[in-house]
Amino acid sequence: MSGPRYVPDHQGLAAFLASPAVGAAVLATAQDMVPVVQEAAPAVSGALRASVQAVPATVVHRGRAGTEARAGARVEMTADHAAPVEFGHLGAVAPAASATTYYQFVVPGRHVLGGLAGARTARS
């Protein structure tokens, strides 16, 4: 005699993952990460730290059954200089006041959001 058999309800699970209740829970988790990101962000002027916010998002999941939309959230920095700080940029400086050529150098990115996404503190 066999025991009870579990048959997953894939359509019900997809509807649950797209529900407003899951969206609110994911957004609350993202809002909990805002102070962590603000603490890790560089603070020369404070504008980058002040621009950190959690926003609701829709995540598109591609699986065997096709694509489905799920509730999600993101933590983003909206300051104008957020992308160069996160990913790096080229800097330039003149060797002297009368010089017409500039030396270019790479300013490495801080990878604040990317580093926290892989950190244990971000997942707990």
CB contact at 8 A, 96 and 77: no
All structural domains of the chain with their residue ranges? 10-123
Residue 65 makes CB contacts below 8 A (sequence gap 6+) with 10
Using one digit for the tens of pLDDT, what is the confidence trace for 27-44? 999 999 999 999 988 888
pTM above 0.85, yes or no: no
Q: Which residue in this structure is represented by tokens 């059954």? A: 65
Using one digit for the tens of pLDDT, what is the confidence trace for 61-108? 888 878 889 999 999 999 998 888 888 888 777 666 666 666 677 888
Q: What is the pLDDT of residue 55?
A: 95
In this predicted structure, the answer to whether residue 7 has a pLDDT above a threshold of 70 is: yes
Distance CA 49, CA 81 (A): 11
Distance CA 17, CA 63 (A): 14
Q: What is the pLDDT of residue 118?
A: 67
